């Protein structure tokens, strides 16, 4: 209770039977005691703090209690004062009430789904003490999926769970977009009151809330006056709706922008990149900032029709061509001897990173920026698969293929991606393109979903799971039928191989989140504990059965979660 | 804060199935989680709340639930819960109560009705359920307080013991008076030195004097020194009240009976519930545990629909064990309570339970402006009271410079939220529920401000989902 409202004693309590009265003194020090009682509270506190010997509790000129009696008189007065003060407390003056949160028109969650969310969030806040999860599902990992489904269904977040939801989003940035969308206007309102949840407001400014792009005047005003994050969000939004309009918006202020900002804005042109952007990007090749020039060159090289792509192709063709000396068709490479001003203007970095030769560094950049289609022409109309399979002279194969991979990713060319990936069942080292799993997952991302899934399925069937983790990461969830079956079969084989399941914990965890829940029934048979295999690691069978149990129960849980939200 | 009165605290929970044989209310997930003795059990129970963990699950119409839970190896644990008690039985070796299996079983029951086959319990479960029900039927009348029932056979000897104890407490109170006087003579500033050890030593002396209430107060004094601006004033207040308690004990013969009973309770003498049991439909408003030295004190606040009374069930458990019983927040139970003696005393003991009822809305609250007077009036009967339970109607949480307030939605008055509550996560739940609009809140009003324990979801109340008046959300 605030003292600011004044300890206005109501008489109500003074006529209550006083416990102190029971022990009332009968001596003639009563008068002195009474005068102590009439002292203001501040005087009592001062006397108590300094001690009654040094500062007797007495009014100026009034009768002081005998020193031996002073502490008790002071305590009597303090007790009386405290009870009177507490009994007389008054309500405080209200502060400025917060603006009410905007109404959230979305329907409330079904009850079962609300309980489920409460448990998912509670599990995140209180993870189990031991590291081993046993056969129980890892609930925290299911939050993203739950949120995605709830948002698709357009449900409103239960108010009481908003704090836990915001805490979860604070701890895990990957949850933020979905969590904030689900939290809705009330979540944003709440975040405005707690500095711990500042991130939610940042998100709101930089795109969680979509800027309105229908009013051209509002757009140009926001573009002129907005904060940097707001302007990036605006440019992205306009660009998403009408790419030329986005470019035009950027062009209005381009020369006046700071170099760091120009770089970020240029990056926004990646979405909806097209031939219309070429003149602008070509001008940006002469930008004052080296980073802006490099980004402009990179964007232009992703446009096979662009003049820059043509110039790069011409340079690359002069370095790489058919080797006419031998009997079998093969590729001859003569890396560039210098990096001239024109090359540098087209975005070629002249200075290689430490440990790399200048010439191969330049070659890589030229090939990377060259439209892939021109290689088919260069090698007599051979399709990509055949070009990739051609032998390369003088150990240039690695350099050349790596550059092609980067080009395929940059130009989003599925034909070349497929060619460079090669056949999934071929041993990775013998592949035509690249043995690197990281490169392969990037190439896979260029292919469409079904093709990606079946390539990875065949890869797993041929090579097992040990290298599959990163490849599985680029497949869409839930995994398509053949892919799911391949993963389950491979896990089954791994168990029979006798190793411990935690060697596969990465893939297991992915499988829990990504397998189609419909697979649960098929998996059930694997949960049975098996007899110890010969040569197996001790106890592995039990752990495998536990791991499969967790997989099945997680899949069942995901199915139940979906059902609760769809009901 | 009421001092722990060890003894007379064992609550018999001999529930009996609803005599009407009506449908037994299923508990919600929140209600089940509220039964967990600690966070670890809550988490562990949550993991077992999936049907893959269970086999042979079933329930009968009288509220018994059972199932087999596969353990880490060997035979499955047999778990039975009588939801009318609630009472639990499990073959696992866990010393927690209820154990994670009982919690998991109840969670599964709360979330997935289809996983349970209705019917008669299997033999292993029937034995326990039968024994329980048989016992309940034999006991017949309301269970009486443990202390009173186990009371000594020889009244004269008992009186003698009580007198001896009173003498020791008197000795303790006199010593405490002397120590307080010495402290005031030298000045409170002395307590701000790091090596100051008087509080612990004095508290130990009060324990020796068998006055645990005095000991607890002395220990709390130790926490005030240096506790932020204004600590000398707060310390003087509490020293004054402690002195008041001492003198009241020493002069207790001259006090009116109810006040004398309050003084005995405050000093820490064992008291037993007495007086006529009150049967009512009790809404469970809040349940929370606070560590109290090496034991855990559990407080359960109940509101009687018919009588309009608010009652407190206080129980204690040794560290790591849940004080029994736990009641799920939001449930309404038809039960008898026996009040404890003392002026304005809200503490009561849970007697016989007759079943659970459909969820109902909040108690009829009062306006924020009327709340301080509720506390002020209660001080007449118990000047040592720190706070008083009250339900506030139509209040809005408002952030202010150094904390939060609950402002009346219709009038120009507000209650500051107690500093202890401002740092609890429950505050943000309350703010979220409000969304800047009026909410109904149950909590304690005291000299430190208002401490919210539960609120009712206003949007849900408006949309008509769940219980009338919105479902209750625990804030502690």
Average pLDDT over residues A261-289: 88
Give the start-to-end residue ranges of the domains of chain B. Answer: 29-145, 155-267, 278-357, 368-474
pTM over 0.95: no
Peptide bond preceding B98 in cis form (omega within 30 of 0): yes
Q: Distance from B352 to chain A by nearest Cα, in Å?
A: 31
Chain A positions touching B243 (Cβ under 8 A) are 72, 75-76, 78-79
For B454, nearest residue in chain A (alpha carbons)? A160
Q: What is the pLDDT of residue B404?
A: 95
Q: Do B184 and A51 touch (CB under 8 A)?
A: yes
Q: What is the pLDDT of residue A538?
A: 67
Average pLDDT over residues A163-190: 91
Chain B positions touching A80 (Cβ under 8 A) are 240
Helix and strand numbers, DSSP H then E, in chain B: 14, 16
Q: Distance from A438 to chain B by nearest Cα, in Å?
A: 36
* Closest Cβ–Cβ partner in A78, A116, A194 for B240: A78
Residue A501 has pLDDT above 80, yes or no: no
* Segment (H or E) for B346: none
**Range 194-253 of B in CB contact (< 8 A) with A:** 232-233, 235-237, 239-241, 243-245, 247-248, 250-253
List the Cα angle B214/B261/B323 in 5-degree steps.
Answer: 65
DSSP for A135-167, please give it: TS--GGGGHHHHHHHHHHHTPBPPGGGHHHHHH
Alpha-carbon distance of A158 to B433, in angstroms, equals 9
Cβ A140 vs Cβ A124: under 8 Å: yes
Residue A131 at interface with chain B, using a CB cutoff of 8 Å: no
Q: What is the pLDDT of residue B320?
A: 57
Q: What is the pLDDT of residue B299?
A: 92
**Range 215-274 of A in CB contact (< 8 A) with B:** none
Beta strand B54-59 pairing with B117-118: parallel
Three-state DSSP state, A190: helix
Q: Do A94 and B413 touch (CB under 8 A)?
A: yes
DSSP for B15-61, please give it: ----TT--PPPPPPHHHHHHT-SSHHHHHHHHHT-SGGGEEEEEE-T
Residue A123 at interface with chain B, using a CB cutoff of 8 Å: yes
Q: Do A74 and B449 touch (CB under 8 A)?
A: no
Give per-residue pLDDT as tens, A97-112: 999 998 888 999 998 8
* Closest Cβ–Cβ partner in A49, A70, A100 for B232: A49
Residue A427 has pLDDT above 80, yes or no: no
Q: Do A119 and B46 touch (CB under 8 A)?
A: yes
Q: How much is the mean pLDDT over chain A?
A: 82
Residue B380 at interface with chain A, using a CB cutoff of 8 Å: yes
Give per-residue pLDDT as tens, A221-260: 888 887 777 788 888 888 888 888 889 989 888 988 888 8
Alpha-carbon distance of B220 to B200, in angstroms, equals 10
Alpha-carbon distance of B433 to B430, in angstroms, equals 5
For A15, nearest residue in chain B (alpha carbons)? B380
Chain B positions touching A53 (Cβ under 8 A) are 185-186
**Contacts of A445 by beta carbon, 8 Å cutoff, 6+ apart:** A409, A452, A474
Residue B28 dihedral angles phi and psi, to the nearest 5°:
-85, 165
* Closest Cβ–Cβ partner in A49, A86, A101 for B447: A86
Three-state DSSP state, B352: strand
Residue A195 at interface with chain B, using a CB cutoff of 8 Å: no
Give per-residue pLDDT as tens, A177-191: 899 999 999 999 999
Q: Distance from B246 to chain A by nearest Cα, in Å?
A: 9
Residue A2 at interface with chain B, using a CB cutoff of 8 Å: yes
Q: Do B245 and A51 touch (CB under 8 A)?
A: no
**Range 410-449 of A in CB contact (< 8 A) with B:** none
Q: Do A160 and B28 touch (CB under 8 A)?
A: no
Over chain B (476 residues), the average pLDDT of each successive run of 10 is 33 32 55 73 76 82 84 74 80 81 84 80 85 67 40 73 91 94 90 76 90 90 85 94 96 92 91 88 91 79 93 78 75 92 87 83 92 94 94 95 92 93 93 95 95 91 68 90
Cβ B290 vs Cβ B299: under 8 Å: yes
Chain B positions touching A556 (Cβ under 8 A) are 50-52
**Contacts of A384 by beta carbon, 8 Å cutoff, 6+ apart:** A372, A375, A376, A415, A416, A418, A419, A420
Q: What is the pLDDT of residue A151?
A: 93
Q: Do A19 and B248 touch (CB under 8 A)?
A: yes
Alpha-carbon distance of B178 to B410, in angstroms, equals 51
* Closest Cβ–Cβ partner in B190, B415, B447 for A91: B415
* Segment (H or E) for B374: helix B371-381
Please give the interface size between A and B, counted as residue pairs whose CB atoms are below 8 Å apart.
264
Burial of A438 (0-12, 13-18, 19+ CB in 10 A): exposed
Nearest to A299 by CA among A314, A316, A287: A287
Q: What is the pLDDT of residue B197?
A: 76
CA B299 to chain centre: 1
Q: What is the pLDDT of residue A24?
A: 44
Q: Do B40 and A129 touch (CB under 8 A)?
A: yes
Give per-residue pLDDT as tens, A347-398: 888 888 888 888 889 999 999 999 998 898 888 888 888 888 888 888 888 8
Q: Do B432 and A190 touch (CB under 8 A)?
A: yes
Alpha-carbon distance of A44 to B291, in angstroms, equals 34
Taking residue B401's Cβ as centre, other Cβ atoms within 10 Å add up to 5
Residue A8 has pLDDT above 50, yes or no: no
Q: Do B33 and A122 touch (CB under 8 A)?
A: yes
**Contacts of A189 by beta carbon, 8 Å cutoff, 6+ apart:** A98, A99, A101, A102, B435, B436
DSSP for A66-106, please give it: PTTTHHHHHHHHHHHHHHHHHHT--PBPP-PPPPPPPP--S
Q: Do A136 and B184 touch (CB under 8 A)?
A: no
Q: What is the pLDDT of residue B223?
A: 85
Look up tokens 């005047």; give the residue: A217
Q: Distance from A79 to chain B by nearest Cα, in Å?
A: 4
Q: Do A78 and B435 touch (CB under 8 A)?
A: no
For A77, nearest residue in chain B (alpha carbons)? B240
pLDDT band with cut points at 50, 70 and 90 for residue A33: low
Nearest to A399 by CA among A448, A441, A366: A366
Residue B390 at interface with chain A, using a CB cutoff of 8 Å: no
* Closest Cβ–Cβ partner in B33, B187, B398 for A95: B398
Cβ B428 vs Cβ A194: under 8 Å: yes
Residue A90 at interface with chain B, using a CB cutoff of 8 Å: yes
Q: What is the pLDDT of residue B142?
A: 41
Q: What is the pLDDT of residue B78?
A: 87
Chain A positions touching B467 (Cβ under 8 A) are none
* Closest Cβ–Cβ partner in A19, A75, A189 for B180: A75
Residue A543 at interface with chain B, using a CB cutoff of 8 Å: no
Look up tokens 């009561």; give the residue: B348
Q: What is the pLDDT of residue B146?
A: 39
Chain A positions touching B235 (Cβ under 8 A) are 48
Q: Do B187 and A17 touch (CB under 8 A)?
A: no
Residue A208 has pLDDT above 50, yes or no: no
Residue A398 at interface with chain B, using a CB cutoff of 8 Å: no
**Range 298-337 of B in CB contact (< 8 A) with A:** none
CA A305 to chain centre: 36
Q: Do A70 and B372 touch (CB under 8 A)?
A: no
Q: What is the pLDDT of residue A204?
A: 53
Residue B47 at interface with chain A, using a CB cutoff of 8 Å: yes
Q: Do B429 and A163 touch (CB under 8 A)?
A: yes
């Amino acid at each position: 209770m605030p003292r600011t409202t004044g300890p206005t004693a109501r008489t109500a309590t003074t006529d209550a039977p006083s416990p102190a009265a029971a022990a009332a003194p009968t001596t003639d020090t009563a008068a002195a005691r009474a005068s102590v009682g009439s002292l203001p509270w501040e005087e009592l506190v001062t006397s108590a703090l300094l001690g009654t010997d040094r500062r007797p509790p007495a009014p100026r000129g009034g009768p002081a209690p005998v020193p031996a009696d002073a502490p008790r008189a002071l305590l009597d007065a303090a007790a009386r004062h405290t009870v009177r003060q507490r009994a007389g407390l008054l309500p405080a003056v209200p502060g400025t009430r917060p603006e009410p949160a905007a109404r959230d028109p979305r329907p409330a969650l079904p009850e079962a789904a609300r309980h489920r969310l409460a448990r998912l969030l509670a599990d995140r806040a209180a993870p189990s003490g031991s590291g081993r999860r046993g056969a129980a599902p890892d609930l925290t990992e299911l939050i993203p999926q739950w949120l995605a489904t709830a948002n698709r269904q357009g449900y409103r977040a239960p108010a009481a769970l908003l704090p836990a939801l915001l805490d979860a989003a604070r701890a895990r940035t990957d949850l933020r977009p979905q969590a904030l969308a689900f939290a809705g206007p009330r979540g944003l309102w709440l975040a405005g009151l707690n500095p711990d949840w500042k991130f939610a407001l940042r998100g709101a400014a930089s795109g969680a809330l979509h800027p309105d792009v229908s009013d051209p005047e509002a757009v140009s005003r926001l573009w002129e006056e907005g904060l940097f994050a707001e302007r990036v969000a605006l440019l992205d939004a306009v660009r998403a709706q009408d790419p030329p309009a986005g470019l035009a918006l950027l062009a209005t202020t381009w020369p006046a922008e700071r170099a760091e900002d120009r770089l970020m804005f240029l990056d926004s042109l990646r979405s909806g990149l097209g031939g219309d952007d070429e003149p602008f990007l070509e001008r940006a090749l002469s930008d004052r900032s080296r980073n802006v020039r490099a980004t402009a060159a990179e964007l232009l090289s992703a446009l096979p029709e662009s003049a820059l792509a043509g110039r790069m192709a011409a340079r690359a063709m002069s370095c790489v061509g058919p080797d006419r000396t031998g009997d079998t068709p093969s590729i001859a490479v003569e890396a560039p001897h210098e990096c001239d001003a024109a090359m540098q203007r087209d975005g070629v970095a002249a200075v290689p990173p430490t440990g790399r030769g200048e010439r191969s560094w330049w070659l890589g950049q030229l090939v990377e920026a060259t439209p892939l289609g021109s290689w088919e022409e260069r090698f007599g109309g051979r399709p990509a698969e055949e070009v990739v399979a051609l032998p390369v002279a003088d150990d240039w194969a690695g350099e050349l293929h790596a550059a092609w991979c980067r080009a395929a990713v940059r130009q989003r060319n599925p034909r070349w991606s497929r060619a460079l990936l090669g056949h999934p069942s071929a041993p990775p080292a013998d592949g035509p393109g690249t043995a690197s799993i990281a490169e392969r997952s990037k190439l896979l991302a260029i292919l469409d979903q079904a093709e990606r899934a079946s390539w990875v399925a065949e890869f797993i069937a041929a090579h097992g799971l040990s290298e599959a983790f990163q490849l599985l990461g680029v497949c869409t969830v839930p995994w398509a039928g053949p892919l799911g079956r391949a993963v389950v079969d491979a896990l089954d084989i791994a168990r029979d191989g006798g190793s411990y399941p935690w060697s596969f914990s990465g893939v297991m965890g992915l499988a829990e989140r990504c397998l189609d829940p419909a697979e649960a029934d098929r998996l059930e048979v694997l949960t049975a504990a098996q007899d110890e295999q010969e040569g197996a690691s001790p106890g592995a069978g039990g752990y495998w059965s536990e791991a499969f149990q967790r997989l099945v129960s997680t899949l069942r849980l995901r199915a139940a979660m979906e059902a609760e939200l769809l009901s | 804060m009421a001092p722990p009165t060890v003894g007379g605290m064992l609550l018999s929970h001999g529930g009996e199935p609803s005599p009407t044989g009506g449908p037994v209310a299923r508990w919600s997930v929140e209600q089940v989680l509220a039964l967990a003795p600690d966070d670890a059990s809550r988490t562990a129970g949550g993991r077992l709340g999936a049907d893959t963990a269970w086999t042979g699950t079933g329930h009968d119409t009288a509220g018994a639930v059972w199932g087999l839970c596969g353990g880490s190896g060997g035979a499955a644990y047999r778990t039975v819960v009588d939801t009318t008690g609630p009472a639990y039985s499990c073959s696992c070796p866990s010393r927690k109560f209820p154990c994670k299996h009982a919690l998991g079983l109840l969670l599964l029951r709360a979330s997935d009705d289809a996983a349970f086959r209705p019917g008669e319990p299997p033999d292993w479960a029937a034995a326990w359920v039968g024994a329980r029900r048989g016992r309940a039927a034999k006991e017949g009348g309301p269970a009486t307080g443990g202390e009173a029932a186990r009371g000594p056979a020889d009244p004269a000897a008992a009186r003698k013991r009580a007198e001896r104890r009173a003498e020791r407490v008197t000795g303790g109170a006199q010593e405490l008076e002397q120590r307080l006087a010495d402290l005031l003579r030298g000045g409170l500033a002395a307590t701000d030195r790091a090596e100051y050890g008087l509080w612990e030593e004095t508290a130990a002396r009060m324990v020796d004097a068998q006055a645990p209430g005095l000991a607890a107060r002395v220990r709390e004094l130790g926490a005030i020194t240096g506790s932020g601006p204004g600590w000398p004033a707060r310390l003087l207040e509490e020293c004054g009240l402690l002195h008041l308690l001492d003198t009241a004990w020493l002069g207790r013969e001259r006090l009116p009976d109810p006040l004398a009973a309050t003084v005995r309770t405050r000093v820490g003498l064992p008291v037993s519930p007495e007086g006529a049991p009150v049967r009512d439909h009790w809404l469970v408003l809040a349940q929370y545990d606070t560590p109290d030295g090496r034991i855990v004190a559990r407080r359960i606040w109940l509101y009687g629909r018919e009588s309009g009374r608010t009652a407190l069930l206080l129980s204690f458990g040794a560290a790591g064990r849940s004080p029994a019983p736990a009641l799920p927040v939001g449930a309404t139970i038809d039960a008898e309570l026996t009040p404890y003696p003392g002026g304005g005393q809200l503490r009561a003991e849970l007697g016989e339970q007759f079943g659970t009822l459909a969820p109902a809305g909040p108690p009829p609250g009062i306006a924020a402006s009327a709340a301080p007077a509720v506390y002020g009036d209660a001080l007449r009967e118990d000047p040592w009271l720190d706070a008083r339970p009250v339900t506030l109607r139509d209040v809005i949480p408002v952030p202010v410079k150094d904390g939060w307030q609950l402002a009346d939605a219709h009038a120009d008055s507000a209650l500051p939220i107690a500093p202890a509550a401002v740092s609890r996560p429950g505050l943000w739940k309350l703010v979220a529920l409000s969304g800047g609009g009026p909410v109904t809140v149950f909590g304690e009003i005291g000299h430190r401000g208002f401490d919210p324990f539960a609120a009712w979801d206003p949007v849900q109340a408006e949309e008509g989902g769940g219980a009338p008046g919105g479902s209750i959300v625990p804030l502690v």
